[in-house]
Amino acid sequence: MAGEMVEFLRELVAIPTVNPPGDNYAACADWLGRRLGEFGYDVEYVAAEGRAEHTALHPRVNVIGRLRDTPARPLLHFNGHFDVVPVGHGWTGDPFAAVLRDGKIFGRGVTDQKAGIAASVFAIEAIRRSGVRLRGGVEQSGTVDEESGGFAGMAYLAERGYVSRDRTDYAILTEPLNVDRVCLGHRGVYWFEVATLGRIAHGSMPFLGVSAISKMADFLAVIEHELKPALSKRTTVMPVEPPEARRASINVNSISGGQPGGMQTPCVADRCEAVFDRRFLIEEPVEQVRAEIRGILEALARNDPEFRFEMRDLMTVPPIQTDANANLVSTMAGAVRDVLGIEPPLIASPGTYDQKHVMRLGLVEQCIAYGPGILDLSHQPDEFCRVDDLVQGSKAMALAAMRLLGTE
Ligand SMILES: [Zn+2]
C-alpha cells in the first residue's frame, strides 16, 4: 500500500492549509472526511462554533472518524493537525506540488505533519484490508490551528468530550519527532509582555525626560547577566531533545520603543515594550516562574524611583509528560523496536504541541507523540519526509494498534 499512501499524502499536501490565517480548512476536513468514509469510518465534522477565529472567511473545521463495527473500549485515538506554517523563503520548488523525488516527498507540511496523518490512516487501513478484526475502537482526527495554540482544534475537541478519559484510552499525536523515537511530552511555556514607562522630553535635552528604552535596557541587563545564567543551571529529568533544551530558558521575542520606523522627531521615548518567551521545566511551578520575573522588576523599581513598569501575561502552557511506564509508551516503543530493529529512545519535545489539551482538558492519561516526520525539518524550506520512514512509521503504528487493542 506504500504507493497508495504516498498518493494520499501528496493530495493532502496539495491543499494549502496555511496558518495563519487558516486557509482551506473546510476543504481539507472535507477531503480527509471523505477518505475516512471510504476506509470504513463514521465521520463527524466539528466546526469551532463560538470561537472568535472561526469566521466565514476562515472557518475552523475539524474532522473525526470512528472505525465502524468496533467495540467502544479500549479506544485508540490518532490525531494529526492539518494546518501548516507559512511557506517562508528559500524553497527550490513549489511547496504545494508535493513532488516525489529520490524517495522523498517535498512540500510545506509534509513532515509537520501531514505524513503523520497518512501513516496513521494507512496503519489502520492495512489491518482492515487484511481482514484482522481489532478488539477495541479506533478514531482518527484531523484538527486545525495546532501551530497557533490549538484552541479551535484539539482544545475544542477535548473541552467538548470528543477526546476525553470517559471514552479515550490512548491518544497518539502523529507529530514529527522522527520515526525512531517516542515522545512523552513537552516543557512549559510562559509568554509575557513588559512595558517600561518613561517621560517624554525634547531629544536635545534628554535630562528633562526619562527614557523608557534606557529603563528597558536596565531590565534586559538583569535578564542577560543574572537570570539567564541562573536558568541555565536549572535542569530537568525530562529527556528533552535536543539535550541543550533540558534547561530552563528565556528569549526576548520582540522589542519596540520610542518611534519605531518612519520619520523621526527628537524625543525621549516614553514607552518601550518587549515580549518574552520563557520555557520552563516540569520541576518549576508556574507561579514561581511568574514571581521570579515580577521580583526582578520590583527590585529595579525599589532601587530606581524612575523605573516604572507594566507586566502582562500573554500565554501559559503547562509542562506535560506521560508516565514512561504506561502501557501506551511500552507498546509503541516495542512496535518501533520490532519494525526498525532498534531500541527507540523515549524523548520529550523542546516545544509544545496539542498533548497539553489531550491531557489537561481531556484528562486522557496515556498520550504520546509518534510520527514519521523529521523534527529538524519542521517549518523549514524544502521540508520533506522519506517514503521509507512513512512506511516504517505506519507499520509501527499498525503493530502498536493491534497490541494495544488486541485482535480476534
Ligand atoms: Zn506539528
Cβ atoms 163, 79 nearer than 8 A: yes
State the Cα–Cα distance between residues 59 and 226, nearest whole angstrom. 45
Residue 182 is given by DSSP the state E
Distance 339 CA to ligand 1 centre (A): 24
- In terms of C-beta density within 10 A (0-12 exposed, 13-18 middle, 19 or more buried), how is residue 381 classed? middle
Ligand 1 centroid to residue 375 C-alpha, Å: 9
Strands 346-349 vs 182-186: parallel, antiparallel or unpaired: parallel
Strands 75-81 and 170-173: parallel
Do 157 and 46 touch, CB atoms closer than 8 A? Answer: yes
Low-confidence ranges of the chain (pLDDT < 70): none
Q: What pLDDT does 261 receive?
A: 85
What CA dihedral angle connects 90, 92, 96 and 102, to 10 degrees?
-130
Cα(81) to centroid(ligand 1), Å: 7
Residues of the chain within CATH 3.40.630.10 domain(s) are: 2-186+319-405
pLDDT of 306 reads: 98
Residue 295: what are its φ and ψ, rounded to 5°?
A: -60, -40
DSSP conformation letters of 308-372: EEEEEEEEEE--EE--TTSHHHHHHHHHHHHHHSS-PPEEEESS--THHIIIIIS--S-EEE--S
Record the pTM: 0.90
- How close is the Cα of 272 to the center of ligand 1, in Å? 33
The CATH number of 2-186+319-405, from 3.10.129.10, 3.40.630.10, 2.60.110.10, 3.30.70.100, is 3.40.630.10
Cell numbers describing residue 74: 479500549
pLDDT in tens, 42-57: 999 999 999 999 999 9
Question: 354 C-alpha vs ligand 1 centroid, how far in Å?
Answer: 9
Q: Are 82 and 143 in contact (CB under 8 A)?
A: yes
pLDDT given at position 179: 97
Distance 331 CA to ligand 1 centre (A): 23
Ligand 1 centroid vs 107 CA: distance in angstroms? 14
Sign of the dihedral through C-alpha 283, 285, 290, 293: negative
Ligand 1 centroid distance, CA of 139 (Å):
19
The residue type found at 399 is L
| CATH hierarchy code of domain 194-317 | 3.30.70.360
Location of each CATH 3.30.70.360 domain in the chain = 194-317
Q: How far does residue 85's CA lie from ligand 1's centre (Å)?
A: 9
Would you state the pLDDT for residue 143? 98
The CA 170 to ligand 1 mean position distance, Å, reads: 19
73 CA to centre of ligand 1 in angstroms:
28
The closest of 184, 187, 186 to 280, measured between CA atoms, is 187
DSSP 191-231: EEEEEEE-B--BTT-GGGSB-HHHHHHHHHHHIIIIIHHHH
Give residue 164 CA to ligand 1 midpoint distance, Å. 21
